[in-house]
């Protein structure tokens, strides 16, 4: 993992994927994924709009012997079906772990270490942060095929979609950010 800013050579890294009705996998129904990496060998991202019923963030931090009372009562996100016990914190760029943080945008980093959880439970936490367990991953060419099958739309990552929008509203608002209403999707499904 790297703290190097993403650029155009990263394909879809630094973008949001929005699931369309052509997405056949029910685990990604209405999913919005913050893409951390996409190159010719692999792709991985974190689902940002699928909250888990439990644990809540304070309880999860407390289970790790961290001060859960220092964080707001917020859901933990189901970040994807791969490695569901592994945590990824999506957070503001005021926190950076050299060599561990991935810079998704100039303002948003993703860090997969216990140190970032310790920072969240400290007196100097990242200004904004959400925790996800698991991630979405693709092998070489797999995401490219899904894109050709119209399973995903792409939009820019915004702080508002990641940190301020209720999970139930993220999919609709992400679509709206590229000028699409949900009812329009059935009309465009199957067309490149």
Any domain includes 107: yes
Domain housing 116: 8-188
Q: Model confidence at 192, in pLDDT bands (50, 70, 90)?
A: very low
Any domain includes 56: yes
Any domain includes 27: yes
pLDDT tens for each residue of 122-136: 999 999 999 999 999
Q: Model confidence at 11, in pLDDT bands (50, 70, 90)?
A: confident
Any domain includes 102: yes
* Cis before 55? omega within 30: yes
Strand, coil or helix: what is 45? strand
As given in the structure block, the two tokens for residue 92 are 């503001």
Any domain includes 19: yes
Instruction: Choose among 127, 125, 128, 134: nearest CA to 67.
Output: 125
Cβ neighbours for 79, distance < 8 A, ≥ 6 positions apart? 46, 47, 50, 88, 132, 133, 134, 135, 136
- Structural domain total, the chain: 1
Q: What is the CATH number of the domain that holds 156?
A: 3.40.1740.10
pLDDT tens for each residue of 43-96: 899 999 999 999 999 999 999 999 989 899 999 999 999 999 999 999 999 999
Any domain includes 2: no
pLDDT at 107 over 90: yes
Any domain includes 122: yes
Any domain includes 135: yes
Which pLDDT value is given to residue 153? 94
As given in the structure block, the two tokens for residue 192 are 């490149």
In whole angstroms, what separates CA 150 from the centre of its chain?
A: 20
Instruction: Return the DSSP state at 6.
Output: P
Give whole-number Cα distances, 158 to 34, 79, 89, in Å: 10, 18, 16
pLDDT tens for each residue of 150-189: 999 999 999 999 999 999 999 999 999 999 998 888 745 5
């Amino acid at each position: 993992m790297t703290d190097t800013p993403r650029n155009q050579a990263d394909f879809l890294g630094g973008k949001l994927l929005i699931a369309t009705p052509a997405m056949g996998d029910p685990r990604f129904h209405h999913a919005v994924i913050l893409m951390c990496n996409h190159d010719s060998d692999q792709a991985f991202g974190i689902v940002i709009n699928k909250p888990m019923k439990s644990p809540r963030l304070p309880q999860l931090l407390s289970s790790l012997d961290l001060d859960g009372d220092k964080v707001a009562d917020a859901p933990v996100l189901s970040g994807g079906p791969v490695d569901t016990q592994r945590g990824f914190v999506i957070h503001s760029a005021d926190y950076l772990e050299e060599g561990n943080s991935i810079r998704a945008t100039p303002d948003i980093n993703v860090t997969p270490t216990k140190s970032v959880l310790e920072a969240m439970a400290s007196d100097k936490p990242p200004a904004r942060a959400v925790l996800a367990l698991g991630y979405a991953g693709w092998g070489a060419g797999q995401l490219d095929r899904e894109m050709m099958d119209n399973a995903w739309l792409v939009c820019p990552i915004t702080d508002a979609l990641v940190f301020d929008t209720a999970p139930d509203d993220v999919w609709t608002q992400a679509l709206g950010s590229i000028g699409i209403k949900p009812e329009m999707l059935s009309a465009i499904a199957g067309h490149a």
